[in-house]
Amino acid sequence: MLFAGASEPFATAAEPKPAPPKPAAAQDGYVLNDSHFHLTNYIQEGIDVHRFLELMGDKVGRSALFGIPLQQTWSFANTGDFAPTYYLQTDAPLYYYSFTDAFIAMQYRSLSKAEQARLDPMITGFNPADMYAADHIRRVLTTFPGVFTGIGEFTIHKEFVSAKVAGETASLTNPALDRILDFAAESGLVVLLHNDIDMPFPKPGQDPYPAAQLREVLMRHPRTTVIWAHVGLGRIIHPVRDQLGIIDRAASIPGLDHVFFDISWDEVAKYIVASPESIAATAELIERHPDRFLFGTDEVAPANQKAYLKVYDMYAPLLARLKPETRRLLLRGNYERLFDAARTKVRAWEKEHVK
C-alpha cells in the first residue's frame, strides 16, 4: 500500500488543535486559488501575465506568481547549436537569475488594480546559500513597494537540480537560510519552500535525513509562515515510509503550526490518486488538518486553460472524498487566509521602511 511503514522525523506528540473558525463562503463563483504557478521557465521564457489572467478565467480566483530563480546555461561546448530549454537537456550548470524579480514586478505593474488583486507576486531571484540573500529580498521590497507578498518557490534540496547549480550547494544547515526566514518573519512575507523529503536512491532502511533537518529549521522559525512545496515529493523522490504519518505528526506539533502543505504538481498527484487506498488515506489526513493544506498547479507557462487545470482535474477523486468545507479550504480558503495576512503585514512593513 502507498505511504506505508514507519519513520520518526516528526515524531513529537501533541494534543489535537481545535478546528479553525469557518470563513464565510465566497460569492464570486471561482472554483480555486493557485498557491504555486511559474510564469517563466528555466530559460526565463513563458507567457505574458495578461495571457495568464485569460487562462485563470472564471475558474481561478487568485494565484501566487513567480518565475524560476535559475537560468540554464547554454554551453556550446556541451550541446553545440542545440539550445536547451530544460535542466535535464544538458550537463551545463544552472545559475541564479536575479532579474526574474524585476521582470515579475514589471509584469504585475502592467495590470489594472482589479487584475493585480488576483495575483500575489513572489520573490525568487536569490541564492539561498548566500548570506546576502536576505539583503536581496529586502532590496526587492524597497525597490518595488506594493508588489510582493512572499518568497519562493525557492529550493534547498531538489532531485537533479541541486547538483547542477553553480557555486556553493544550498543546505538546510546553512545560516543563510536562517537569515532568509528571519527576514520573512520581520516583513510578513509568506515562504514557499521546496525541499525534498529524501535524497534520490536512498539506501534501504535509511531514514530521510532531509526531513529531520527541515524539522529543525522550521522549529527555529515559529514566526515565519512556511508552505512546504509538494510535501517533499518529486519525480524520483517517492513517498518515504510513513509519508502521511510524517505530515500528520508535523501538522500536530504546536511548534510547527506555522507550517502548511502544498500538494501541487502532477508528479505529486500521481502518488495521491494512485489507488483507492492512497486517495482515502490522503483524504483522511486532510480532514484531520483542514486548515493546513493548499492546492497548487505548479504549471509552467501553460499553453491553454486545459493544460493549466490538468492537476486540478487529476485530483477529482481526492476532492470527491472531502467534506464540502474541507474542499473549500483546500482549494480557496487556506490560500486566502495566508496570503491576505501576508499582504497586510508586508504593506505595513513597507510603509515603515520605504521612504
Report residue 292: phi and psi, to 5°.
-115, -5
Q: Which of 233, 256, 253 shows the shortest CA–CA distance to 243?
A: 233
Residue 262 has pLDDT above 90, yes or no: yes
Residue 251 has pLDDT above 80, yes or no: yes
Q: List the single range of 121-135, 156-170, 215-229, 325-339 with lowest mean pLDDT.
A: 156-170
User: What is the DSSP track for 288-340?
Assistant: HSTTSEE----EES-SSHHHHTHHHHHTHHHHHHS-HHHHHIIIIIHHHHHHH
What pLDDT is attached to residue 338?
A: 98
Average pLDDT for 306-313: 97
- Reported as a pLDDT band with limits 50, 70 and 90, residue 231 is confident
Q: Which amino acid is at 50?
A: H
Q: What percent of the chain has pLDDT over 70?
A: 86
What pLDDT is attached to residue 233?
A: 75
Average pLDDT for 10-34: 57
What pLDDT is attached to residue 163?
A: 75
What pLDDT is attached to residue 16?
A: 41
Residue 20 has pLDDT above 60, yes or no: no
The structural domains of the chain, with segments of one domain joined by +, span 32-353
Count H helices and E strands in the chain, helices first: 16, 12
Which residue spans within the chain are E strands per DSSP? 32-34, 37-38, 60-65, 70-72, 94-96, 119-123, 150-155, 190-194, 226-228, 259-262, 293-294, 299-300
Tell me the β-bridge partners of 65. Answer: 121
Residue 38 has pLDDT above 90, yes or no: yes
**CA separation for the pair 298, 8 (Å, rounded):** 29
Average pLDDT for 87-114: 94
Q: Which long-range contacts (CB under 8 A, 24 or more apart) does 316-320 make?
A: 317/273, 317/279, 318/272, 318/273, 318/279, 318/282, 318/283
Q: What percent of the chain has pLDDT over 90?
A: 73
- Reported as a pLDDT band with limits 50, 70 and 90, residue 196 is confident
* pLDDT mean across residues, the chain: 88
The angle subtended at Cα 23 by Cα 229 and Cα 287, nearest 5°, is 55
Please indicate whether residue 12 or residue 138 has the higher confidence score (pLDDT).
138
For the domain 32-353, what is the CATH superfamily, name and number?
Answer: Metal-dependent hydrolases (3.20.20.140)
